[in-house]
Structure 1
């Protein structure tokens, strides 16, 4: 059977023909721009789950709620195409026409995320293989190998058909490639992936000799003599080669990015509209290096859900939003999915408290999102996500949740003037997926600390101090930042390390924490003592790591409390600000600072995992010396963030606390529409947005 991208005739229908595309504004130099009027308020819609009579009710309710952007055809493959290869677009045509008639724009999915059962039954070779060598069966989602040419052939034929049919439809505003690429199938170990991995390695390393050097294969008699000897890093009887595992992560991220590019290339043959896919910038998804993906997106989009397995899920939400803005290069971005209430995939799926939906949503907007969208519109009655919250819950519209959704839609509508503005920050925090992969390897000094532990701890301290943070990649231009924070950046290349050196020499202050700068891009330890890349910058030399068992307290001479990590450190060109009072490094420096001279910034080093209050105090001192001014009124419970378009400034105050707070200000408060003349009370659990008088 031949699969083609052509459409097929359908039975007679009362629907009007699809109208031609309206003239699109000329895109700015470079990629097409996402141009939505105001802040988008939207959702995923899965009409295939519902009788067509419900579709009309849904569209009417969407208008009532202020929904103006709807993602459709995300999981539509089985509805669009059968095993005979022909396409039936009649139902999707009707849904898009209903949305268009209501003035709702469409974020059109390519429907390729999960293949239909007929495809995996016919071609079981597309199924992914896990690191234990077993295949995963269909029955869930994303049951496909990113390297499979068979899957790609069928998927791109579907993309061709969808793009050809809807490219000129005036309702379509944005193209949505696949869905959450790599959420379940990022790491495949099948034979096809093995061949693709070898091709990728040849491109990266050129010769087998260079690969051996990069992976350090002289250890454990692992030296390769031919490319065909190399396998993906499946489970072994011992720990695996760290260089091989690291390169496999890089390959797997690149392989899925190549798949994204293939879909985008098909769409661009038919359409000039912007294209994106939904990232998963969150604490439990780590397999894609989004720094390498971001430049391929016409608009950066992210899915985020509160993770109650974390100690501070609300702070992690703020971090994820700041990181997503970093991926967008500071430009506005789109929150493609979040939840009105509970999810369905955590051990305990907590419902949101009254008002939490508004606070979560506007935190994303405060941090640069120009769209607030949800999974999903109407809660499913069947399937794996039937207990996942939605804008329309199982209980219907006579519910507090629906009334909260209506209120949120009204407020988002009132914030339209904020669209296009940007967040400004004086502090940069360096973050790296590559360092995450390498740092959390099988063989490391302690499994009691993971990369994100340090990232979240340092970000959390800045957050609680009321400091706005840009999250940037290693090697980023740090010009203009007063302070650069480097939490546990274990892996860093020479050029990226030098970027921090140059920034400090130019006046930026730096705060670096333990297990940073230890290895180069090949996961090769830098000799001479830790933190190899930044010994001179920090004026220290760590002779030996000395982690301690969980539950074992560490005390510093200042009285500060710490845990899990110590190290035997000596200062070479820095002052010891605090020392270990006990533990395996007793008497050794624990916190140091190399003071700047001749216009250079200070360089701080923290050689242990401080308890929260003590870390807050230390970071506060570094912030103050760097000249960073926290937002007035901000605290652990009150988030204050500013967006500006260069002429106007909007100040977002999100009060997560149980008591009202007062903030100074003059201007117009957009949530209530009231004037602010000197003081504004923000009730407990409320959000206020002040358009401030005067220039930005």
Structure 2
């Protein structure tokens, strides 16, 4: 994306309103400082009323009006929600659950991703859209689908079964390769032909874990194939217009690292819960992931709510100043867009109580004023566009490992990848150590410090990558139940964690998961005491030193947390989930030892600090106060307010939920 101003605006759905409202919309967009509108996400039924009946008139007029008023368009391919007539004529396009229940129209995303009929109709529609609008003056960006995997991430119908068999044949070559990978000698599951293989439908006992894992991979790939079919059409007609799709939150169903390779720009939908006091930490993690998916390039906050959403049990509005604060959090972590769902609040439909830039009460509202004020501020920050965030630390994450970690028949079945990620990320956020979220096979050499939370599934090349990183001087912290299985969920033999025994200098004989809500004491070598939860292990030292031992229970006195020098680097191992204080102390010390430094030392608790840097070396320091009280914050010498231009001196006071963007010399 080559932007002259922040992409500011969001989903605009003129088809929901009479055209007599549109002129008012244009005036309100001008007042709010809107520069971009996402159009047509759910427009399929409005432009195609039958197999051979099309009417793009409303879309033509809407795009012309937006262009006339200087608003760029992120134009959707309209394929996220098929029209009811397609389901009536082709019920085989509808998805089926593992229990055999067919899902019907009336919501959205009611399609089987593997359905050739759905794909044929979707591609034909995109072909018409691309031909029609390829040279439209408003077109800035293509938006394919919408929030893939949000509602239907897997389909178990016969069409999907056939596609799954083809995917397996390409992956394993022959059925013998499949049998070896899936360990089908167990429970008499051996296949003699791919024709016998089914998706992991509901079964009377524990399903085959490797089958489940491959079906998750297949399902992500099936949705990606839909995306790529549409992208090919768009690329043929508009080779210079960027293509994206909006990745939703931290969606388990879609392998973001695989999808990111096919995006021209990374886009993200973010809906933090105002009722959760620490929701901004998880949001920061997601934003760091989006930036990392694009290799550090700026990304786009494609959707957020101006205030409340409509789909939680309790839908809290964003408090005064909170929307501004959370919007700048995205900008601070690399976004060049602040976009909303949606422009005008719907009168009917499932999302009628989802907030919008223009609420039901109209523009004389707090929400509209806050959005317009933010639009005016962003217009004063063109220098920030295109600047980048540099990270000293990395947290490793892999979707295949996530899928496998949370499967059945493990020593504990309540392990959560998201919880593990945040337990390791939060101390780095609190210490203002900027962290990328990267795949374990990525080049880690540029990072001083690497954190590995519960990387259960590890192939040989990934293990070698981590070992080489430490051997050549890297500092790494790895948590329990890592390096246990290979890419087909088969246990690495030779004692846990076999690929990392030498690196870590430990041998885990047995896993000792703690009882529900159970805890075990930790005695640290520096004399402090802590608590471990969720998990413990029988650890033997093989070259590592114990930094903490279990205090109490069957493992009392045995190692719980270890450290080993390996080559030119250092590797730590956590055999339990330490309490937040112990985890924070450990990670801060390990990061400091590695040379991973805070962006702004001395900032008070609750103040988020990040930095974006332009190609010419200009730095923008973002100070975000997540507290509900004012706090004093030190600033570097020579800093000026990037919006007002005033000198900041040596210290500023940030109001509750306050934001400061300091331009550094």
Instruction: State TM-score, norm by structure 2.
Output: 0.97
Q: 1:11-61: per-residue Cα shift (whole Å, max 9, x none)?
A: xxxxxxxxxxxxxxxxxxxxxxx2221221120011111111111111111
1:332-356: CA deviation from partner (whole Å, max 9, x where unpaired):
1111111111211122212111111
Q: Distance in 2 between matches of 1:84 and 1:557?
A: 70
Seen in structure 2, the aligned counterparts of structure 1 residues 279 and 569 have a Cα distance that, compared at 3 Å, is farther
SS of match in other structure, 1:195: helix
Residue aligning to 2:381: 415
Map of 1:260 onto structure 2:
227
Pairing partner for 2:371 from 377, 402, 405: 405
The reply on whether 1:393 has 2:359 as its aligned counterpart is yes
Which of these residues, 549, 563, 566, is aligned with residue 579 of structure 1?
549
Residues 155-166 of structure 1: pairs in structure 2 closer than 5 A: 155-166=122-133
Say yes or no: does 1:681 pair with 2:653: yes
- Identify the residue that residue 117 of structure 2 maps to in structure 1: 150
Residue 274 (structure 1) aligns with: 241
**Whole-angstrom distance in 1 between the partners of 2:649 and 2:631:** 18
Q: Does 1:563 align with 2:529?
A: no
How far apart are the structure 2 equivalents of 1:534 and 1:308? 41
Cα distance change on mapping 1:58 and 1:309 into 2, 3 Å: same
Pick closer, same or farther for the CA change 1:586–1:310 going to 2, 3 Å: farther
The CA distance in 2 between the partners of 1:214 and 1:635, in whole Å, is 52
**Alignment partner of 1:99 is 2:71:** no
Q: Which residue of 1 aligns with 2:192?
A: 225
**1:561-607 per-position Cα deviation (integer Å, ceiling 9, x unaligned):** 1211111111101100100001342221010000245xx11101111
Give the aligned length. Answer: 657
1:504 pairs with 470, 473, 476, which one? 470
Displacement after TM superposition at 1:679 (Å) = 2.8
Partner SS for 1:422: coil
> For residue 300 of structure 2, what is the aligned residue in structure 1?
334
1:63 lines up with 2:33 in the alignment: no
Matched, 1:668 2:636: no
Report the CA distance shift for 1:417/1:636 in structure 2 as closer, same or farther (over 3 A).
Answer: same
- Residues in 1 aligned to 2:604 and 2:112: alpha-carbon distance in whole angstroms: 46
Could you report, residue by residue, the CA deviation over 1:119-156 in whole angstroms, capped at 9, with x for unpaired residues? 11111110001111111011000100001111111111
Q: Does 1:454 align with 2:420?
A: yes
Q: Tell me what 1:639 maps to.
A: 608
Within 5 Å, which residues of 2 pair with 1:576-615? Answer: 576-597=546-567, 600-615=568-583
| CA separation of 1:294 and 1:315: change in aligned 2, threshold 3 A | same
Residues 623/248 of structure 1: CA separation in 2 closer, same or farther (3 Å cut): same
Q: Which residue of 2 aligns with 1:20?
A: none
Q: Does the 8 A contact of 1:478 with 1:503 survive in 2? A: yes
Shift, 1:308, TM fit: 6.4
After superposition, what is the alpha-carbon deviation per residue over 1:503-531, rounded to whole angstroms, capped at 9, x for unaligned?
11111100001111111111111112222
- The counterpart of 1:650, out of the listed 620, 623, 626, is 620
Q: Helix, strand or coil for the counterpart of 1:543?
A: strand
- In the TM superposition, residue 629 of structure 1 has moved relative to its aligned partner by 1.4
CA distance, structure 2, for counterparts of residue 410 and residue 327 of structure 1? 29
Map Cα deviations across residues 426-484 of structure 1 (whole Å, 9 max, x no partner).
10110111111000002211123311111111011111111110111011101121101
Q: How far apart, in 1, do the equivalents of 2:274 and 2:168 lie? A: 39
2:204 is aligned with 1:237: yes
Alignment of 1:116-515 (within 5 A): 116-283=83-250, 285-307=251-273, 312-515=278-481
Between 144-153 and 440-449, report the one with greater CA deviation: 440-449
SS of equivalent to 1:677: coil
How many angstroms apart in 2 are the aligned matches of 1:282 and 1:560?
A: 33
**Structure 2 residue runs without a partner (length 5+):** none
- SS where residue 268 of structure 2 aligns? strand
Residue 200 of structure 2 aligns to a residue whose secondary structure is coil
Separation in 1 of the partners of 2:197 and 2:112?
Answer: 19
Say which SS state the counterpart of residue 174 (structure 1) adopts. Answer: strand
- Give the deviation of 1:683 after TM superposition: 2.2
TM-score, normalising length from structure 1?
0.92
Paired position in structure 2 for 1:21: none
3-state SS of 1:557 partner: strand
- The 1:74/1:281 distance shift into structure 2, 3 A limit, reads closer
Distance in 2 of aligned mates of 1:179 and 1:448: 30
Offset at residue 295 of structure 1 (A): 1.3
Provide the rounded CA distance (Å) in 2 between the counterparts of 1:636 and 1:161: 54
**In structure 1, the residue corresponding to 2:470 is in which secondary structure?**
helix
The structural deviation recorded for 1:275 is 3.7
Q: Tell whether the 8 Å contact from 1:174 to 1:273 is kept in structure 2 after alignment.
A: no
| Structure 1: unaligned runs, 5 residues or longer | 1-33
Report what 1:12 is aligned to.
Answer: none
Give me the whole-angstrom Cα distance separating, in 2, the residues matched to 1:548 and 1:538.
23
- Cα distance in 2 for partners of 1:367, 1:584 equals 45
Deviation at 1:636, TM superposition (A): 4.5
